[in-house]
Structure 1
Amino acid sequence: MKDSVDLEVTPTVAPVSNNATHAHTHGEHDHHSTESHGHAHTQMMIFGKNTELYFSLICGSLLGIGFGLSFITGISSWIPTSFSIAACCFGGFFTAREALQTIAKGGFEIDFLMLVAAIGAGILGKWQEGALLLFLFSLGHALEHYAMEKARKSISALADLAPKTALLKRDGATVEVKIEQLKAGDLIVVRPNTKIAADGIVIQGNSSVNQAPITGESVPVDKQPVENPDIDLKKADQLEAKYKVFSGSINGNGSLEVMVSRIASDSTISRLVKMVNEAQTQKSPTQQFTDRFQRYFVPAVLILVILLCGAFLVIDEPFSKSFYRAMAVLVAASPCALAISTPSAVLSGVACAAKMGVLIKGGRPLEDLGMLTAIAFDKTGTLTEGKPRLTHVVPMNDVSENDLLKMAVAVEALSDHPLAKAIVRDGKQRLGNVDIPAAENLEAVLGKGIKATLQQESIYVGNLVLFESLGDTPPPPALTTKVRELEAGGNTTMIIRAGNKYAGIIAVMDTPREEAKAALTALKELGIRRMIMLTGDNQQVADAVAKEIGMSEAWGSLLPEEKVAAIRKLGKEEHKVAMVGDGVNDAPAMANSTVGIAMGAAGSDVALETADIALMGDKLQLLPFAIGLSREARRIIKQNLWISLGMVALLIPLTITGLASIGPAVVAHEGSTLVVVLNALRLLAYKQKNR
């Protein structure tokens, strides 16, 4: 058996260049390269891709016929023996092929141990037992590959998401081209109910797009044309989700025109496939332990086998019996199940996570995620929406709410400040189809606010300090009290004055995500002891947001380097700590945490590269799912280790003492290997409870 599962998936999307930053590549796995057993059997395809399985079944059939003939009197003993020898040829073909290829490269693996044991049985004239060994070993191999194909298909399905062709709009007409021919800036037409062929920006049309294959979002996302079609494509990542589409997502009932922002080999789905493939080669701590264990265990077994071969020199038994016992121990001690236990679970876990829109970069973060005791969250864009919203409209002095909003929208429409845009956007939405008069003559006032003319009247918009500085008409105490109250709740306030009359207050705030509270509750139920908000906003704002979403700790006014110091402090206080952020300005803090987790990583180069785990959709509820999956993976890995090590510990003394021969040892040995693989494959069907 192999000590890792090397299931390289060839994307159907354009090829992706290798990322040299990863510590493990396929070339490092000496006897697990693409020429090893996982792929060698494909070089001989007499019966198609299941040739090894058919060879194994032929071996079993010949073994059964030979065994039956051995009970018939009057026929030569060579007849059933010939069937057993033929069975050995079919059963040992792929085992011998693999062993010889590995030895030619200077390597050594478990297949060789099985081959030696079978040859030893043949030398002793035990052809039936040798055939039984090779039959069960080859059947175990074949069924293992068949079972692992299910995990491989879960990953390769990602690559099949992207269509092979796109409708390119050129000179007013559309022409079908291969997606590899698309260039950044090309316009493609996406018809209703078809897959989107490239990452891009919506230029024309409205539709709902099913992004579940990429981001895991269960509800289709509404898309609309970008306001400025001449946008720099390098800034496409920074656009709101409603303007962006991803290759492999499924268009709804509307037609769209999309400007390609990434070539096929650099699309989100292509990079996702590549990183999932790379994740298979990243060894977990448990896998590193099993590798170290085998490094010392296998030579120890070989020494034991050599000593057992010489047992006839010190005890009264023939050499044949000593040699047979040594071969039985060789079979019993081969750590096949141990070798496959962790890689199969890691592969299944990574595949399940990718299917749900979570990219886990290998075994180490998969295992570490399940051991977290504390999680630190960035505030803006992680726990909150990441954009300000109009939260309060407080009219005063007989001014109606609509009139106050009209003043605010008219004046702020002249400004390009992010808060001004939020007021205009949300104000218009509240007002509906009401006509809003145009303001003019915008000017800054003392750096603390703005002034404009609206219907021949001066309108001032600014903070409390502005109006206290003007000195002509100080704000009334009731207004000041209301401002302080709103700011204590985490709002940013703006006072509006028309001439010398205070019209009221408007407030904006980066509001918490709707799912934040439920996600944090789910994390608490999973046993996460501490959840801390880290933000550059002032402590008052941090406390207000934390209170609203039910988070007990909030650390405000932090610079990026102070976030790093906070993560290091948490790391000393807690066993394992994760940092959840957007993968850009939080990258240093992520790098210093046990596990760095990026939110909304779809389409973001930086997020995909810096994080250990990337939540492709901008959804906090994916985090409890990922942690639950990790804990299930850790449970299965532990179960597999107990099964594999327990079987070896049981079989070695039984075979040394002669209580178990090669036949029973093979059945128990190969049976435990299949149990381990099937146990690991349960992860493919993992569903978070109460999700």
Structure 2
Amino acid sequence: MKKLTIELPVLLPDIPDSDDPCVPRLIGALESRNGISYAHVKSDEDGDTILCIHYNPNVVTLQRIKEIAQTTGAKLHDTFGHLMIEVSGIRQSRHARSITQRLNKLPGVVDAYASATGRIRIEFNRDSTFDDALLGKLYEMGFRSKSVKKTPSSKEKEHEETAEVHDHDHKHEHGGIFGEKTELIFSLISGGLLGVGFGLSFVDGFPEWASLAIYIGAYFFGGFYLVQESFTEVKEGNFEIDFLMVVAAIGAAILGEWAEGALLLFLFSLGHSLEHYAMGRARDAIKGLADLAPKTALRKTDGDTEEVPVEKLDIGDVIVIKPNSKIPADGVIINGESSVNQAPITGESVPADKMEFADMDTIEQKPDSIEDKHRVFAGTINGNGSLEVKVTKLSKDSTLSRLITLVNEAETQKSPTQQFTDKFEKYFVPSVLVLVVVLHFAFLIVDEPFADSFYRAMAVLVAASPCALAISTPSAVLSGVARAARGGVLIKGGRPLENLGGLKALAFDKTGTLTEGKPRVTDVIPFDDSDEKELLSTAVAIESLSDHPLAVAVVRDGKDKLNGTELPEAEDLESVTGKGVKAILHSAQVFIGNLKLFEEAEGTKIPNELKDQVKKLEEEGKTTMVVRYNERYLGIIGLMDTPREDAKKVIQQLRTIGLSHLIMLTGDNQRVADAVAKTIGIDDPKGNLLPEDKVEAIKELRNSEGEVAMVGDGVNDAPAMANSTVGIAMGAAGSDVALETADVALMADKLSVLPFAIGLSRKTKTIIKQNLWISLGMVVILIPATILGLSIGPAVMAHEGSTLVVVFNALRLLGYKS
């Protein structure tokens, strides 16, 4: 069995990310071909997303595999298109659900979803329809498209565009003489007229026609927008809750119960307005992300600076960041030092110290490999120092821009609970309509006038309308995603938000997740008549000639310990693969390496006492370097990828909140895994694992525990993340790969935010359950109550009251604190 790897963007240009629906379509199409056993997506060591194809060379040739992959990818890319559209006019979740249904009925649409926040996601078949035709349909529906993000076919010249289109007003905007507040003001006018009419009805001699006229005025203002929306839905064959309320109000008028009908319209329109306001709070929390970055930047050219729009900045431009100002672009500091408040992106409360980076070649070729202390992100806030920054990403590709895009896309993902409530309503609403029709004919069985049966039916219609149920889950999910983003956590929609709170087990990658990801000198042990200074200065002099990661660690930490001591110069470095190095220092031969090096090297063999110390350090999971100067053994240097400072505390916090099964997965040897696990408190370390072994470990954990999350860096852990219930990536700020591969991305390179994310998810699940109990409970109470004689007035007050309760209950998530 052989394997071929191809960069995914080569096969599917401009797909949003590896979670795009076209990726499983591509894999399915490939695996159906004779000779291909299976295919999967992973990330290579440079962080690029690649497609890995396993095939039988006895059945199909490598060249044929390449042709099949490229042909299949091109066909899929030219067949399936994607639109992410922001529109004005979707005011609440019931309306959004109706739009979703209408879009999914359009020819060529594979899948569509409209959120109450105004985001619409459409996946379509290019053989049946095209971008502009779908935008035209939205135009016909009466929506103003604020922006459109397209994923064009390979035949189109522009790879991606964001355009202002169809900029027109429509009735769904609910604007008017009072602007966005028109509906609220109309509702209050309706309530005022209702109050006047009701009060004057007790005045002797006041004409009945005048009181009726006032009630009609209340009907007009209370039902103005309600009738418009109902008419639009009925034209499409949808009988939504708005229509049911209009029917109930007309029924009340037919019975001469104008006051109760006006009360229904007043309270329903008021509820609409307040619901819109409350949902707007959650929307604004997300839209506020877009205001984090400044609109202009100071670009440095030939020694002078000019103010330019951030969209005009190119990669390689140098920008000047003044003290206490917002940073306009992602980049690397090339001059100056300062502390930077990264809370808007990472949620970190303490400003991070930043300093300049001098290697221009690395900035140009591998900017993502540069340490965070040299990098800054758009939307963060500079401290007291002045900085010069070399731009490494265009404004549309910045970490902040990616975060905003992914949060907006998260709004268009349904949670499991929302899928359940949608399915429930699908059967519940028709059942209510059947019940209402039956109650109309109650006068045939019960000794009462038809008017009484009709009134009871209208009251049941009001009581049974599941308004609160429709808004209960979307409002909580939207608030939860918004709060998470503000806390430095990207959660890609309702499903991972809910799943995160139901986890029973967590699996951690070791390197870079539980540990710092780079070796550090932990032990300096002189031998015989040597001392620490001689041992370190000799090792640093030799290792400074090498670029091996262990050598870099010895030089870095050794210089810190020597504190400015002048170092000798070594020469003639020679590497002994897998064993160590040797070089010349002061005309003497110096050997630095593991035990195998000294077993084979000529000269004095390593003393047993020193050998025992080496084995003891290795049992603790440390890498050892023995240093020999001519025939003298100077001692041992021990190195280890040390655990993060907050790792032990976070593990304790996770156990406290009920996650008892915590495992560690690593490619390091079992001894190292055991040592790290013992230090931080994980009782199930698994070492010597290849990437495919990690996947199998996750599958076993899912079989035994049910729901499990994989926490890693989002690069080489992508396959294991894909097989877990929730994939969680750390240090996602500045890493497109981590942002794309994970279900949940911790923007800061810190574990400490993980308990916050899990706690927020659990709180969200709790609020969703509360909202379901409130909404369904109210329906269960009101239906029999109205059947037994409860009038429309109290029914509509209880109905609208429950709707507002669930919305404001969900808004509590915006203030969540762990």
What is the TM-score normalised by the length of structure 1?
0.94
Closer, same or farther: CA 232–204 of 1 in aligned 2, 3 Å: closer
Residue in structure 2 matching 1:664, options 794, 799, 809: 794
Structure 1 residue corresponding to 2:344, chosen from 213, 216, 221: 213
Q: Percent of counterpart pairs with the same letter?
A: 63
Q: Separation in 2 of the partners of 1:85 and 1:446? A: 92
The answer on whether the counterparts of 1:325 and 1:656 sit within 8 Å (CA) in structure 2 is yes
Give the 3-state SS of the residue equivalent to 2:560 in structure 1.
helix
For the Cα contact (< 8 Å) 2:346–2:747, is it kept in 1?
yes
Q: Which residue of 2 aligns with 1:673?
A: 803
Q: Which amino acid aligns with 1:201?
A: V
Task: Choose the corresponding residue for 2:585, options 454, 472, 485.
Answer: 454
> Is the 2:92–2:275 Cα contact (8 Å) retained in structure 1?
no
Distance 1:109 1:199 in 2: 47
Q: 2:220 aligns with which of 89, 93, 97?
A: 89
The residue that corresponds to 1:111 in the other structure is 242
Match of 2:817 in 1: 687
1:507–1:28 CA distance, 2 compared to 1 (3 A): closer
Contact 2:112 2:120 (8 Å CA) reproduced: no
* Structure 1 position 39, deviation (Å): 9.1
Matched, 1:439 2:570: yes
**Alignment-derived partner of residue 193 in structure 1:** 324
Tell me the equivalent position of 2:273.
142
Q: Is the 8 A contact 1:460 1:496 kept in 2?
A: yes
- Which residues of 2 match residues 185-264 of structure 1 at below 5 A? 185-231=316-362, 233=364, 235-264=366-395
Change (3 A) 1:98 1:446: closer
**Kindly tell me: are residues 602 and 4 of structure 1, through their superposed partners in 2, closer, same or farther at Cα, counting changes over 3 Å?**
farther
Q: Which has the higher contact order (CA 8 A, sep 6+)?
A: 1
- Say if 2:676 is the partner of 1:549: no
Aligned position for 2:654: 523
Q: When the two structures are superposed, what TM-score results if normalisation uses the length of structure 2? A: 0.80
Q: Is the 8 A contact 1:491 1:507 kept in 2?
A: yes
CA–CA separation in structure 1 for the residues paired with 2:112 and 2:638: 50
* Counterpart among 732, 756, 764 of residue 601 in structure 1: 732
Q: Offset at 1:210?
A: 0.7
**Aligned-partner Cα distance in 2 for 1:680–1:432:** 56
SS of aligned partner of 1:230: helix
| Cα offset, 1:234, TM superposition | 5.8
Give how far 1:200 is off. 0.9
For residue 102 of structure 1, report the CA deviation from its aligned partner: 2.5
Distance 2:418 2:582 in 1: 66
Deviations along 1:518-542, whole A, 9 cap, x unmatched?
0000000010020000000000000
Contact 1:4/1:343 (8 A) holds in 2:
no
Aligned-partner residue type, residue 531 of structure 2: S
Partner of 2:521: 390
SS at match of 1:281: coil
CA distance in 2, matches of 1:611, 1:34: 36
SS where residue 621 of structure 1 aligns? helix
Q: 1:43 and 1:381, CA in 2 relative to 1: closer, same or farther beyond 3 A? A: same
Cα 1:325–1:85 shift into 2, 3 Å: same
User: What corresponds to 1:481 in structure 2?
Assistant: 612
Give the distance between the partners of 2:640 and 2:503, measured in 1 at CA: 31
Equivalent residue, structure 1, for 2:603: 472
Task: Name the residue aligned to 1:122.
Answer: 253
Q: CA deviation at 1:471?
A: 4.6
Q: Unaligned stretches of 5+ in structure 2?
A: 1-90, 98-108, 123-136, 145-168
Q: Distance in 2 between matches of 1:232 and 1:281?
A: 36
Provide closer, same or farther for how the CA distance between residues 24 and 501 of structure 1 changes in structure 2, counting only shifts above 3 A: farther
CA distance, structure 1, for counterparts of residue 683 and residue 320 of structure 2: 49
Pairwise CA distance, 1:446: 5.9
RMSD, matched Cα: 2.1
| Other-structure match for 1:99 | 230
Q: Distance in 2 between matches of 1:365 and 1:446?
A: 45
Q: Distance in 2 between matches of 1:446 and 1:378?
A: 28
Deviations 1:504-559 (A, max 9, x none): 11111110000000000000001002000000000000000000001111000000
Deviations 1:66-113 (A, max 9, x none): 001111111211111111110111011111122222333443321111
- How far 1:34 moved relative to its partner? 8.7
Contact 1:209 1:223 in 2 (8 A): yes
Deviations 1:378-407 (A, max 9, x none): 000000001111111111121111111110
Q: What are the residue-to-residue correspondences of 1:163-178 with 2, within 5 Å?
A: 163-178=294-309
Alignment pair present for 1:508 and 2:639: yes
> Matches of 2:699 and 2:310 in 1, distance apart?
45
- What is the count of residue pairs matched by the alignment? 674
Q: Aligned residue for 1:406? A: 537
Report the CA distance shift for 1:291/1:191 in structure 2 as closer, same or farther (over 3 A).
same
Do the aligned partners of 1:6 and 1:280 also contact (CA within 8 Å) in 2? no
Shift of 1:230: 2.4
Partner amino acid, structure 2, of 1:622:
V
| 1:290–1:339 Cα contact (<8 Å) kept | yes
Counterparts of residues 334-353 of structure 1 (less than 5 Å)? 334-353=465-484
2:92/2:276 contact within 8 Å kept:
no
Tell me which of 375, 384, 390 is aligned to 2:506.
Answer: 375
Which structure: greater strand fraction? Answer: 2
1:52 CA drift (Å):
1.3
Q: Is the 8 A contact 1:600 1:618 kept in 2?
A: yes
Structure 1 counterpart of 2:657, which letter?
L
Displacement of 1:27 in angstroms is: 4.1
Query: How far has the Cα of 1:172 moved from its partner?
Result: 1.5
Q: Structure 1: which 5+ runs fail to align?
A: 8-19
Deviations 1:568-617 (A, max 9, x none): 00000002100000001100000000000000111111111111100000
Q: 1:564: Cα distance to partner?
A: 0.1
1:590 matches 2:721: yes
In the TM superposition, residue 242 of structure 1 has moved relative to its aligned partner by 0.6
Aligned equivalents of 1:670 and 1:135: distance in 2?
Answer: 10
**Aligned pair partner of 2:742 in 611, 615, 626:** 611
